[in-house]
Structures are given as structure tokens and as C-alpha cells.
């Protein structure tokens, strides 16, 4: 039963944004006191911090020893575009798109790189393309977890081990929360600001030996900006993967990432982070199962994200409204929750269907999600009351 009476208990942390995401539990600025501020990232202390960030990344994610890891500019977008510009063109490419960021990579490849042998496999918000249609003799570009749709690939079983092309995976809202099969992935990218609640502007680029082989044996037909260059004289620039960054990183952000990785180890490592995300998702899934007015945007349970949980208003009266009115209703829900100080930044992504998007990654506490649920009912009831008054 929904009510327009405000609940008594608020979430202790109302930050449910899907990026930048909530800081780890217990985080304070004091956690960054060891950051070498005012020092060069090329100084011994700076390079040691950057190398530590890479080494901890490998440890927490259990990345194979022969995979290279680099800290690169421009967040996940920079990491993906570095891979696209550096690796594509040697083979035809299949591009998967079922939400906004996947569509962005299609634009990069088709309209900017202008590859003629690019094939696009699309699905609408809430669904996956037919993964059986992928040609793995081609290079393949896909998002593991659609941040703006809440739809993820259920596993890596669709990727063959004997593929000829490279798999380039944008995993920014999946890594640290979902199982990535490294043997099936040749390029993995992400940013610090998602599951670990880190700061923005820095990306991570992880390369398999097959990807390194491509870099050392293939020269793209187009010029590469300085910040995209990973080879020199036909050989990988190894220093890039030892903490010698291409451009100047923020050592404050690096310290924050190191702090988040150390917290991850204390929280049980990768399995612990996945368990936290799964428990958070279960709070929302149980609520949706018993609440008639709300539903998942993702239509197939096995493809529902445990991090970026996208929800739609399923109430029949609201669904009968014109699309603009439905969008206004959903925005009113998010606005009322923000005004009450119980949930910030949970409106659907601007290109996605109208609804709510609630981050459930590992830095969120299940108790905060549980405290949020009565407020969702309150916001819905209040918005429905407003509809009736307007009528």
C-alpha cells in the first residue's frame, strides 16, 4: 500500500548515482593523506604509486600475468577510443549496440573511422542483440553491461576460444561486480568512478597477448593522436603498462583508486565485491517482484544488471499517458526523492526510456537501499495524487 505520508527513516547515504558512484563505506578525505601532491608523476614516488595501482588492479581482478594493464586519459571513453583507433581496420568488425554507450562506439567506428566493413547488431533498450549472429572471424566491440539500459550479457559463453578476431569489451559498469572471463576478452576498458566509487577522468586499458600482437603487427591507415599511441617502432611501449602514463594523471585520484582497491581486498576481494552487488540487486529485485507499479527495463531476468538497475513505471494509468507525460511523471519521481534528500541522481539516462536508474554496485550499502524503498512508494503515491488533482 502506497501512501503520501513521508517515511520516517532516510538512507544514511543517498548517493545512488550511476557515475560517479558512491564512495566506499567509511571513506573520508583522510584516506588520501598519503597522496604525493605537488610531486611529478614521473618522480620515483609518483611512478611507484602508479605501479601500485596497476599491481593492485591485477591482484583484485585476478588478471592473467601475461595481460598488460595501463592507466590512460579520458576515463572509460578514452580507453575504448584508444583501442578502437589503434586496433581496428585489420579485419571486418561487428559492433553490438543495445544502449547509449554502445551506440557511441558505433558512431566512432562507422562515422568517424568510416570503416566500410563494419556490421552493426542492434537491440532496443531492455534487450540484447542476437549474440548467435556475431561473426568471431571479425573483431567484435561490445559493452558487457549496458549502464544506461541495465542489460548485461549473462556470461562469456557466446565467445569462442578459437576466435580469429579480437574482442573489445567496454566493461566499465561490470568490472569488480560481474564475472569477466579473461580468456574470452582481448581488450577490457573501465573507469575508476563506477563499482569502486573512484574519481573521474582516468581510464583503464587491459590488453591480452593477442591484442598486443595486433598492435605490434598492424599499422592503422589513419593518424593516431599522441594520447592514443601504444607502440613505437613496431613495439609496444612497455613503460605505459608499468605506470609511465601517456599524459599527467591526478595523483590525488590515483591515491583514491589505491584506497578503493585496498578496501576491495578487505571486503573479500573480487568475490566479496560481487557478493555485495548481488545482495544489493536482490533488495531491489525483491521489491520489484512485490510492487505492481514498477518493473525492470531489462525484459530477461538473466540479463539484468546487478549494478546499474534500470526501472520503468508499470502502472497502467501512467503507461496510458502520452510519452512526454510519462517522462514528466518519471522525472517528478526522481525530483521529489532528491528534494527530500533520500536519493540523488536516479533519473533514467537522457537517451533511455523514462524511468529510474538506481546504482547497486559494491560501494552501496544494502541497508541504504532498503531504507530507500518506502520512499519510492511515497514518491509514486505523491505523483499519482498530483495526476488526479490535475485531472
pLDDT, tens digit (0-9, with 9 covering 90-100), for 49-65: 999 999 999 999 999 99
CATH 3.90.1150.10 fits domain 269-390: yes
Q: CB under 8 Å to 43, separation ≥6 — which residues?
A: 36
Answer whether the bond into residue 20 is a cis peptide, omega within 30°. Answer: yes
Residue 1 confidence (pLDDT) above 80 = no
Cα–Cα nearest to 281, from 220, 219, 391, 195: 195
Q: How confident is the model at residue 386 (pLDDT cuts 50, 70, 90)?
A: confident
Mean pLDDT in residue range 129-148: 98
Q: What is the pLDDT of residue 172?
A: 98
Cα–Cα nearest to 199, from 19, 15, 13, 382: 19
**Residue ranges covered by each domain of the chain:** 30-265, 269-390
Mean pLDDT of the chain, nearest integer: 97
Q: What is the pLDDT of residue 391?
A: 65
Instruction: At 266, list the grid cell.
Output: 578487505
Instruction: At 339, list the grid cell.
Output: 528534494
Task: Give the span between the Cα atoms of 338 and 313, in whole angstroms.
Answer: 18
Cα–Cα nearest to 372, from 96, 87, 6: 6
Q: How confident is the model at residue 286 (pLDDT cuts 50, 70, 90)?
A: very high
- What's the maximum distance between 2 C-alpha atoms anywhere in the chain? 71
Q: How confident is the model at residue 206 (pLDDT cuts 50, 70, 90)?
A: very high
Task: Give the span between the Cα atoms of 220 and 86, in whole angstroms.
Answer: 7
- Residue that the C-alpha cell 595501482 belongs to: 53
Residue 283 confidence (pLDDT) above 50 = yes
- Residue 23 Ramachandran class (φ > 0 left, ψ -120 to 50 alpha, else beta): beta
Cα–Cα nearest to 342, from 377, 362, 372: 372
SS3 39: coil
Q: What is the pLDDT of residue 387?
A: 85
Mean pLDDT in residue range 281-293: 98
pLDDT above 90 coverage of the chain, percent: 97
Task: Give the span between the Cα atoms of 202 and 20, in whole angstroms.
Answer: 12
pTM value is: 0.97
- CATH for 30-265 (3.30.1340.30, 3.30.70.270, 3.40.640.10, 3.40.630.30): 3.40.640.10
Residue 185 confidence (pLDDT) above 70 = yes
Instruction: At 207, list the grid cell.
Output: 590488453
Residue 368 confidence (pLDDT) above 70 = yes
Cα–Cα nearest to 356, from 371, 379, 334: 334
Q: CB under 8 Å to 209, separation ≥6 — which residues?
A: 66, 67
Q: What is the pLDDT of residue 236?
A: 98
* 4 vs 219 pLDDT, higher one: 219
353-370 burial: b if 16+ Cβ within 10 Å, else e: bbbbbbbbbbbbbeebbb
Mean pLDDT in residue range 277-302: 98
Mean pLDDT in residue range 283-306: 98
Q: What is the pLDDT of residue 224?
A: 97
Task: Give the span between the Cα atoms of 246 and 73, in whole angstroms.
Answer: 8
Per the DSSP assignment, residues forming a β-bridge with 167 are 140
Provide the 8-state DSSP code for 104.
H
- Residue that the C-alpha cell 537522457 belongs to: 350
- pLDDT tens-digit map of 4-44: 899 999 999 999 999 999 999 999 999 999 999 999 999 99
Amino acid at each position: 500500500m502506497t501512501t503520501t505520508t513521508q517515511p520516517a527513516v532516510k538512507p544514511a547515504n543517498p548517493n545512488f548515482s550511476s557515475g560517479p558512484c558512491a564512495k566506499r563505506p567509511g571513506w573520508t578525505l583522510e584516506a588520501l593523506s598519503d597522496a604525493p601532491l605537488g610531486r611529478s608523476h614521473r618522480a620515483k614516488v609518483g611512478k611507484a604509486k602508479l605501479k601500485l595501482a596497476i599491481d593492485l588492479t591485477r591482484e583484485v581482478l585476478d588478471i592473467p600475468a601475461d595481460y598488460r594493464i595501463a592507466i590512460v586519459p579520458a576515463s572509460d571513453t578514452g580507453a575504448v577510443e584508444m583501442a578502437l583507433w589503434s586496433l581496428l581496420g585489420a579485419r571486418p568488425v561487428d559492433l553490438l549496440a543495445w544502449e547509449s554507450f554502445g551506440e557511441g562506439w558505433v558512431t566512432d567506428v562507422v562515422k568517424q573511422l568510416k570503416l566500410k566493413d563494419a556490421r552493426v547488431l542492434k537491440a532496443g533498450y531492455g534487450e540484447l542483440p542476437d549474440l548467435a549472429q556475431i561473426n568471431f572471424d571479425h573483431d567484435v566491440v561490445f559493452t558487457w553491461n549496458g549502464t544506461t539500459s541495465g542489460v548485461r550479457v549473462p556470461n562469456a559463453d557466446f565467445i569462442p576460444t578459437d576466435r580469429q578476431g579480437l574482442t573489445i569489451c567496454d566493461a566499465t559498469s561490470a568490472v569488480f561486480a560481474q564475472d569477466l572471463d579473461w580468456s574470452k576478452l582481448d581488450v577490457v576498458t573501465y573507469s575508476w568512478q563506477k563499482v569502486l566509487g573512484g574519481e573521474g577522468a582516468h581510464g583503464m586499458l587491459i590488453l591480452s597477448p593477442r591484442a598486443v600482437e595486433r598492435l605490434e603487427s598492424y599499422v592503422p591507415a589513419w593518424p593516431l593522436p599522441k594520447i592514443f599511441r601504444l607502440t613505437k617502432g613496431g613495439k609496444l611501449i612497455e613503460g605505459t603498462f608499468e605506470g609511465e602514463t601517456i599524459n599527467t594523471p591526478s595523483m590525488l585520484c590515483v591515491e583514491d583508486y589505491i584506497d578503493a582497491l585496498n578496501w576491495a581486498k578487505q571486503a573479500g576481494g573480487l568475490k566479496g565485491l560481487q557478493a555485495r552487488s548481488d545482495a544489493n540487486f536482490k533488495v531491489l529485485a525483491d521489491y520489484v517482484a512485490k510492487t505492481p507499479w514498477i518493473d525492470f527495463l531489462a525484459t530477461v531476468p538473466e540479463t539484468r544488471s546487478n549494478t546499474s538497475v534500470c526501472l520503468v513505471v508499470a502502472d497502467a494509468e501512467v503507461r496510458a499517458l502520452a510519452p512526454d507525460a510519462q517522462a514528466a511523471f518519471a522525472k517528478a519521481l526522481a525530483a521529489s526523492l532528491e528534494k527530500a534528500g533520500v536519493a540523488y541522481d536516479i533519473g533514467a539516462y537522457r537517451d533511455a526510456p523514462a524511468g529510474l536508474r538506481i546504482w547497486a554496485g559494491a560501494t552501496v550499502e544494502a541497508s541504504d537501499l532498503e531504507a530507500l524503498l518506502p520512499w519510492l512508494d511515497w514518491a509514486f503515491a505523491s505523483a499519482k495524487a498530483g495526476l488526479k488533482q490535475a485531472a
